[in-house]
Amino acid sequence: MLVTTLSSSDRTWVRERTELLFGGDTVVSRDVVHQPSELPGFIAMEGSERIGLATFKIDDGRCELVTLDALCQWCGVGTTLLEAVEKAARAEGCTDIWLITTNDNLDALRFFQRRGFCITTVRVNAMEHIRRLKPGVPLVGSYGIPVNDEIEMEKALADGECWKVV
């Protein structure tokens, strides 16, 4: 597997993947509407095939992982892309990396916790507000679970440990 920086020739594919996965060409986190096809990121390649995508945004010394998409689950694609984003964030002097997922995304919760992320904030019923910004967000998500809450996760980049929530 080869990981490369997202190039202009990848942008249409990023938009298509975002529409497929998120029901439109935008992603919303903390009331901010992101267009992943316009963000920096990485593509995982196997030969000439794109097999994964990560996009991120660096702001005020922190890195937000906006999207992570592995077309081949359990193959190391997500881990490799996450490591590339963490390396880029460290190079930019970021102190931590954070992300938003939803309460139904059990696979993401498992994946990120196994890689040193902690749940730091749960915004109960936040999806009601998010649906005003992005009406296409489904009411029911993975495993038949109602999509109600935003879950924020963080990881310190200096030592790779969870932030301690008191």
For range 112-130, the mean pLDDT:
94
Is the pLDDT confidence value at 166 over 50?
no
Can you give the pLDDT at residue 153? Answer: 97
- The CA distance from 1 to 154, in Å, is 27
Can you give the pLDDT at residue 103? Answer: 97
Can you give the pLDDT at residue 80? Answer: 97
For 28-54, what is each residue's pLDDT tens digit?
888 788 999 999 999 999 999 999 999
Number of separate helices (H) and strands (E) present in the chain: 4, 9
- The single-letter DSSP state of residue 103 is T
Is the pLDDT confidence value at 156 over 90?
yes
Per-chain mean pLDDT for the chain? 91
Can you give the pLDDT at residue 54? Answer: 96
CA neighbours closer than 13 Å in the CB half-sphere of residue 152:
18
Domains of the chain: 2-156 (3.40.630.30)
Is the pLDDT confidence value at 98 over 90?
yes
The pTM of this model reads 0.90
Can you give the pLDDT at residue 143? Answer: 95
